[in-house]
Chains A and B, each alone.
Chain A
Amino acid sequence: MAVMRILAALITAASVLWSVSQPARSEVTPAEQGGARPGDGNHFSPLDQLTPANASHLKLYAAFPTGSRGAHSGAPLVMGNMLVVLTPFPHVLYALDLRKAKPEVAWRYEPASRGMAAGLTCCGTGGPVSYGNHLYFNTVDGRTIALDPASGAVLWDVQAADPALGETLTGAPVIARGQVVLGNAGDDFGARGWITARSATTGAALWKHYSTGPDAEVGIGPGFAPPYPTDRAVDRGITTWPPSAWQHGGGGVSGPILWDASAGLLFHGTGHPAPWNPDQRNGDNRWTSGLFARDVTTGEARWFVPVNPHDLYALGSTSALLLVERDWRGGPAPLLIHPDGNGHVYVLDRRTGKVLSAEPFIPVNATKGFDLAAGALVRDPAKAIRSGATTRGICPARPGATGAGAAYSPRTGLLYIPVRRACMDMEARDTTFMPGTAFTGGNLRLSPAPGLSAGALVGWDIAAGHAVWEQAEPLPVEGGALATAGGLVFYGTTDGFFKALDAGNGVELWHFRGSSGIVGQPISYLGPDGRQYVAVLAGLGGVPGSASGREIDMRDATAANGQAQALRALPPRADGGGMLYIFALP
């Protein structure tokens, strides 16, 4: 009898231990995984084995060459005992078995690819996501694929985006209520932006809404309640454009898509309008360069906030989005945090879309502050863009002050923003829409902001509205940040360093020099042995942000959309090819 009780206790304990050690299966990607594609965008890992005390002892656990020389902008995914890596275009999907002493390839899958998409975008996609027992990922040439990792079989494979229209997929999909939600990229080629949901089981299209055009196609109906009154008019997606310009108006949903299960809402940003030359698209250019909240089941819009209306500098609003529940000036509030490419940290009330605060996190001169009553930036007319003229010294420069990889730690209450500090000269020229060719109409010449380092990781106090610390970097920080419950912040730099900082005070605790620059998002996971690991993909692919990154001639100051001049300091050896690095304590 006692034996049976002990056995039962043991079994219970074992099963409890086992269940605790297993990643939970839920609609939101496992919390302890953190950093991959969590629905809240916080890039926060609840794992706390690594702390400021022991971070300096981190060692390289494994290095796996991906065999690709492109820009590795995604994140690896941990599913059960597998680590899944998607290389840049043309893609290869690797699954590594984590139970082996040194992770080795369990299987690989290589989808067929359409080469013409290689010229349309620079980097990879956000990486694979998991839901249930299945694996989902986007390809740059516009396909969304569902795999069964156990058998390696393809469940479904749909052509969601059409490269012939300039559309590509550069973000990771998000699984929400059994739907695979994804948006396209291609603003620079005049592709019209959209967001769509497909069935996770069959891949059938459920709904699709555009970022420009008539209200019916945008998903604006009776439930639409924008916080600022001008957007209540009818068909703003047509009336704020010259006739028919909205048909190739950009606004692609290439950034993070967040999923708030309790509210049943999706949050996403829309990209910049096309072309870059603002004089060819007079008007506010709705619904580009702003933030949407949509109903998850139907995709209908609930509210829209314009962030860069009539975007002068092609910044878009597809940078980081984070869902944060915290106190705000009195009581707890559901917030949407958005550090934008225009250099301001937007804090919005998630329920209504009202902007609560928008403080600049880098020195900017294109705008002179934010008018909270009107909910709009105040622009500096000296930095206006006129077709045929050159405007000098605009800060921040395109592609924006930050990318998609900011992180938030509820322990410290700080927002960790990877920052690009560059200024640009912009010359706008009239351009013609020719499908297949770039539809930009602007020449740029970037240089590091005067007196500052070209990049940094900024520790930002959301409540106070200013930075608490910053870690300067010699080159713009293109990759993402990962915050952990143990009190660390991990990020990778363009010149190939992977660093760990103290999340509270920003002191650098540990770094690793990789063979290539890092533009991807780090993740942290619990291995089969119960230890905490940190993994990141390294691989720069030449000049970051350009499809022909390895074939850029830096003597042309406007090459790679103007970054050639700013990145002359890029060491040539910061590009050894793609590697997956995994770190752990020894």
Chain B
Amino acid sequence: MTRGRPAEDLRDTALAEVELTHGLARTWQTPSGFWGALATVDHKIIGRRYIATAFVFLALGGVLALLMRWQLARPESRILSPDLYNQVFTIHGTNMMFLFAVPVMEAMAVYLVPLMVGTRNIAVPRLNAFSYWMYLVGGVLLWVAFVLDMGPDVGWFAYVPLAGPQYGAGKRADIWAQMITFTEISALAVAVEIVVTVLKQRAPGMSLDRIPLFVWSMLVTSFIIILAMPAVMVASTSLILDRLVGTHFFNPAEGGDVLLWQHLFWFFGHPEVYIIFLPAVGMISSILPTFTRRPIFGYLPLVLALVGTGILAFGLWVHHMFTTGLPRVGESFFTASSMAIAVPSGIQIFCWLATIWYGRPVLKTPMLFILAFLFTFVIGGLTGVMVASVPLDTQVHDTYFVVAHFHYVLVGGAVFPLLGGVYYWFPKITGRMMSERIGRWVVGLLLAGFNLTFFPMHILGLQGMTRRIYTYQADMGWGGMNLFVSLSSLVLATGFLLFFIDAFRSARHGAPAGDNPWGAATLEWATSSPPPPYNFVRIPVVESASPLWDSPDALPVATGLRMDRRELLVSTVADAVPEARESSPGNSIWPLWAAAATTILLIASIFTPWAVVWGAIPVTIALIGWFWPKGTPEDES
């Protein structure tokens, strides 16, 4: 932060272009080298890290999936021991849900949302840095435990009493529960940042009805996170207390309840899948206009569908508990609500279909991924309506039918749009295009491989093959189809492999992309690829929902922010009328120290409850350092 010459006007109104860009770069840059990397608060650097880490976890989780398929390819196989298989499926699920699916969507949001709303940095950027370190530690905790043969083996949702103190020997379930704490703290932090950014830091003129749909979806997702994640934190904390301290939350003999775990977990667990799905929906709504060359059809219904999905998502959770003996009236209610949520999803699908119908489709890779999504997600949605019915669910609960269903909706509904989004925004993030040719191969292999792998699982489930079994007898008759599934999974794996290869190669040798290679309409394409540290030279002013299409030659901008210190514009919630200039924190190492202190507290509390007491001391010190007042610079200007 330069003290500068007080008499001179350092706002961007008064400065020439070159001096402005140099000054802004100096103000907003992250120093190079190791220290800069640790102390950065730039949402783009943190977002890139986040995305890369999440994809590393995707690859690791995929390796586990291949191991499972190898084990199940033949009956009575001895490749994985029962205990190792238990760890593998638990960590596959936990990793994919907590370390890949949610974080990658948040990561894309961390990178894209400030750019899409036209601001310089995400709100509370040091919290952003902290959340990444917490996420990284949580993931490392889980995988190191697995490598040490002490990975959790109780399933990704760790039902008690199996995960409880009597049946869950050792520290495995405690590691799972603390990993939850790490990732939930991280997710909550990012959710808060996104809500504040979207509501208060939008570019002037970006009223609520001009917000890009991806930003809308991230706003709704963030609210879901804020309301749902506390339930799983309460559950995992209660589990640790039961195991470590001897409380009786889940002990029926002393007044606790085993079903309490399921309620708490699924009250989070169902909104969790919408946390994963809605950002993907937002990505589709961002990609489709670009590749159909028209604004999205039904902006208002799409927004209402997002909000409606978000609200309804909280009324579905008991459909995971249909076989627990709950009263029939209650189960019927949740059948109805589980089917009802198909309505907003259906609205969205029809709006997208209308966009394609009334537009001029360009069949590039991102668009192909969207078509793959439509095919796959609709199948998953249909089986979803099937399992929403209690009698059918009672038959297929805990069988491969459910496994097939949720992979269809997760892979089809989240991974395909995500990969489409990666192809779409890769040029913006790295400045280079991915290969279109390889991209088509990736789509084809993934679509074919996925359907060949997971469709037969519906049949296996109806034939009675249960989940989470490490092997099966030859005379069950499942051997042939399992072998087919395992071989098909190699096709799926090849598709992913190609994707990673393409991503690595293109990052170094891809064709250079300009500012807006796809001709898209939203604000992130208004700056260079990759964007400079300060995102925009001057804050753009928005006059429509597709600013780059409606003002193709020059964007109107707002001026008046200083270039010698970090400032951004705060605007009103509804109409984005500028209200104030807000200072944005600079690079700081305190988030790393706070994350380290919290790490020590949480990991030590796996072993002793006293860690909470003694571990609070370094956390307090780190937070004091973080929040130490540095004057009130905005009052001085």
Q: Which residues of A contact B (CB under 8 A)?
A: 388-390, 427
Contact = CB atoms under 8 A, between A and B. Distances in A.
B254 interface: yes
A10 B346 CA distance: 124
B253 interface: yes
A209 to B, nearest CB: 40
Nearest to B252: A389
Contacts of B253: 388-390, 427
Contacts of B252: 388-389
A390 B252 CA distance: 8
A-B pairs, 7 with minimum CB distance? A390-B253, A427-B253, A390-B254, A389-B253, A389-B252, A388-B252, A388-B253
Contacts of A389: 252-253
B259 to A, nearest CB: 15
A511 B254 CA distance: 43
A389 B253 CA distance: 6
B290 to A, nearest CB: 61
7 contacts: A388-B252, A388-B253, A389-B252, A389-B253, A390-B253, A390-B254, A427-B253
A389 B254 CA distance: 9
Contacts of A390: 253-254
Interface residues of B, number: 3
A169 B160 CA distance: 46
Contacts of B254: 390
Contacts of A427: 253
Nearest to A392: B255
Interface string B250-288: 001110000000000000000000000000000000000
Nearest to A443: B253
A427 B252 CA distance: 11
A390 B253 CA distance: 5
A390 B255 CA distance: 9
B35 to A, nearest CB: 55
B167 to A, nearest CB: 15
Interface in B522-561: none
A541 to B, nearest CB: 31
A454 B253 CA distance: 26
A465 B310 CA distance: 69
Interface centre among A388, A389, A390, A427 (most CB of B within 10 A): A390
Interface string B311-338: 0000000000000000000000000000
A122 B466 CA distance: 52
Interface in B231-266: 252-254
A388 B253 CA distance: 8
Nearest to B253: A390
A557 B315 CA distance: 43
Nearest to A429: B253
Contacts of A388: 252-253
A427 B248 CA distance: 15
B257 to A, nearest CB: 12
A389 B255 CA distance: 10
Nearest to A390: B253
A389 B252 CA distance: 8
A427 B254 CA distance: 10
Nearest to B254: A390
B161 to A, nearest CB: 12
A390 B254 CA distance: 7
A386 to B, nearest CB: 11
B617 to A, nearest CB: 32
A427 B253 CA distance: 8
A431 to B, nearest CB: 16
A426 to B, nearest CB: 11
B534 to A, nearest CB: 65
Interface in B578-606: none
A393 to B, nearest CB: 13
A390 B256 CA distance: 11
B258 to A, nearest CB: 12
Nearest to B251: A390
A159 B253 CA distance: 43
Nearest to B255: A390
A428 to B, nearest CB: 10
Interface string B295-315: 000000000000000000000
A234 B252 CA distance: 42
A390 B251 CA distance: 11
A39 B613 CA distance: 68
A390 B248 CA distance: 13
A388 B252 CA distance: 9
B160 to A, nearest CB: 16
A15 B252 CA distance: 76
A369 to B, nearest CB: 29
A359 B254 CA distance: 33
A4 B87 CA distance: 111
A389 B257 CA distance: 12
B541 to A, nearest CB: 68
A388 B161 CA distance: 14
B93 to A, nearest CB: 31
A382 to B, nearest CB: 15
A61 B252 CA distance: 57
A64 B254 CA distance: 49
B624 to A, nearest CB: 42
A349 B254 CA distance: 45
Interface string B465-487: 00000000000000000000000
A389 B258 CA distance: 13
A400 to B, nearest CB: 24
B87 to A, nearest CB: 31
A427 B255 CA distance: 12
A28 B252 CA distance: 55
Interface in B200-259: 252-254
A537 to B, nearest CB: 40
A96 B253 CA distance: 54
B164 to A, nearest CB: 15
A337 B295 CA distance: 96
A435 to B, nearest CB: 28
A516 to B, nearest CB: 37
A41 to B, nearest CB: 41
